[in-house]
Chains A and B, each alone.
Chain A
């Protein structure tokens, strides 16, 4: 009969409409009174098991970022030396697809020889494409990808996006907090190396 298809369509949309409210109501009482994404509700409502709408009221509500999330690069500061782990080897500058990394290698003022640390390190984040290749190829775990995605500024022609070493530096604790698995692997690796050294 003509029109049955339209009725079928409407049955789907009406079903969706009702489900949305039923789901809201269920979580209204079940997980955290009136909060859309209480700690119990979040992993269910934002997963394939979610039944209702997925809307998140940004910036009042935020979703947790997965550990692998790639924002912009940052330098990990070694707490023992207070300096970056970077040795100015330049592998990241060679890997960088838009060529937005500049490294000035430090020289020893007495001998005039190159030192294994950067004097300056710049990233132009206005052309950085967040590909994560620099972090991937860094042999010293010096560059990691940050989880900060709110980097808007009021201007762009005064060098706001040319981040220097100071701007790029973040503490080791920050790295450990946003990349727990990665950090655990790093530590295990370090311990393994220390163990083989002790054996010798």
Chain B
């Protein structure tokens, strides 16, 4: 890394000179991307960035483990911050180094409230302590869990090797059926001398700890007026296994905390064992409603590292797929919302009919309805099959505009729908930005922030479309925005289908164990739910060194407590459905 000076990018140089003027000696260029800030000045630098340089929107806080010293820096934990301006532009990367034996970094929660959930996750999975965080509990794993899984020296239960492909597969395969390694009913062993009956779980008491100061006896006593109520994790309206703990005064929510992790599978650890290509089908399983968008995000991020060009036809196919996914996701979201309001299945099935037609198209092109695995680095997996374009044109030109008009007639003027949604859970724009909300949730609060416009990727800057935005910030407006986005997606689709060029669909060849140049990249796309970001670090091998997902549902859940405060219990279901989350992506 001796020629480091030449590699520093232009925005980093500008940032460094700006920081040098205010905080002499606090910042230096990072190994790959962005700047390294001295931990003791991190909060001051963060306030400076937010107030004077306009970086008001923090996307992601994460950690990277470097157990071995590099030429430039000693062995360390790194806390990595990605932030951008809510008026648009490229994100900025900030690093803070922490001692590997006792990693502590000051918390930036007071600068950007959105850091709260991300810092809790980083503490949980990486074990970096954020000094000054008001509520630094584990978020995805339970209290009492041993170790921090994303550290490089942590090994899972059925650990085989650090990296795939495993050597036991070829040429002398010794097959073991997965079932034999974890036999049904006999896969649980207690440590010697430990009995489940004598054990008092600490995890549950920690869940109620934010409510302690208001309620005696950990919320299980009726001594005060306020009581603590659990929603879920097995509740039909939570769209999966989400649990919410609420403190109620009568029927009014005083405080609400989501309890996450019931669907946690340590996706990121799996991702770091996998090869780069093998992660592509795993991204399908994040937000399983819109797998094409997840593929898109991952492909964009890896292509940043690889530096490959995507052929034009592939770009068009990608955009067509991504916009179909957006329509599909919003239809599902609106459909399930009416279901949660208590309209039951009528409208939901209307919406699912249209979704069914779209996923039929995905199946024709990619081979699977939901787990598409369609994108490759530098293109897409296969060309559009014969007979695909006539069907999609029928759908985009004829059927969907008619249906969209019908759905709006059905819902938006309906007095019952309006009574339940207008003026409920108003989210002001500045609060939405501070909490790192993205997607329709943010745009319904009057902030026209859309990554397709703010930091255009693929061919979005060549197409003619508008950012959907509404200004009241209530539930009703979130759905107005979704309907408008479907209309804009149709507009994009019409242009893309007309201009779809002939040509190759993939540059290069699909290579299973291809190496990726060392570096780091934060690639982000506007998934239907918000900003979907992939933060990748490569050490130049065939496996990602760090693979972190900025899931829009997860970040948007950080504001749930804020949205629910002061509203009725009956509205919680509606508020949650209006955020539009998928638990596969929240818990990862």
List chain A positions with a Cβ less than 8 A from chain B: 2-6, 8-9, 12-13, 16, 46-49, 53-54, 66-70, 88, 90-91, 93-97, 99-105, 114, 120-122, 124, 126-127, 129-133, 136-137, 145, 156-157, 159, 161-162, 181
Contact = CB atoms under 8 A, between A and B. Distances in A.
Nearest to B407: A12
Given A48-B391, A96-B165, A99-B169, 20 more contacts: A2-B415, A5-B415, A5-B418, A6-B416, A9-B410, A9-B411, A49-B398, A68-B382, A93-B170, A94-B165, A102-B168, A102-B173, A102-B174, A122-B173, A122-B175, A131-B280, A131-B371, A132-B367, A156-B184, A161-B179
A100 to B, nearest CB: 8
Contact of B409 (A8, A130, A181): A8
A152 to B, nearest CB: 15
Interface bin, chain B: 35 or more
A76 to B, nearest CB: 17
Which 8 pairs, one residue from A and one from B, show the smallest C-beta to C-beta distance?
A: A102-B173, A95-B512, A90-B170, A97-B278, A131-B281, A70-B367, A105-B171, A5-B413
Contacts of A88: 170-171
Given A48-B357, A156-B184, A162-B177, A129 B411 contact: no
B365 interface: yes
A132 B372 CA distance: 10
A90 B167 CA distance: 11
B513 interface: yes
Contact of B346 (A13, A102, A162): A13
B364 interface: yes
B162 interface: no
Interface in B346-375: 346, 350, 353, 356-357, 360, 363-368, 371, 373
A132 B409 contact: no
Contacts of A124: 175, 177-178
A10 B235 CA distance: 29
B364 to A, nearest CB: 4
B171 A54 contact: no
Contact of A93 (B169, B406, B409, B410): B169
B165 A93 contact: yes
Contacts of B513: 94-95
A5 B411 CA distance: 8
B457 interface: no
Nearest to B354: A48
17 contacts: A5-B417, A6-B415, A46-B360, A47-B391, A49-B399, A68-B367, A96-B169, A100-B178, A102-B170, A104-B171, A104-B173, A120-B173, A124-B178, A133-B277, A133-B512, A156-B184, A159-B180
B351 to A, nearest CB: 12
Contacts of A104: 171-173
A9 B394 contact: no
A54 B537 CA distance: 46
Nearest to B170: A90
Contact of A136 (B165, B350, B510): B510
B379 to A, nearest CB: 13
A159 B173 contact: no
A187 B174 CA distance: 35
Given A6-B414, A162-B177, A133 B278 contact: yes
Contact of B172 (A2, A99, A105, A161): A105
A127 to B, nearest CB: 5
Nearest to B185: A157
Contacts of B281: 97, 129, 131, 133
Contacts of B382: 68
A71 to B, nearest CB: 9
A132 B413 CA distance: 46
Nearest to A135: B367
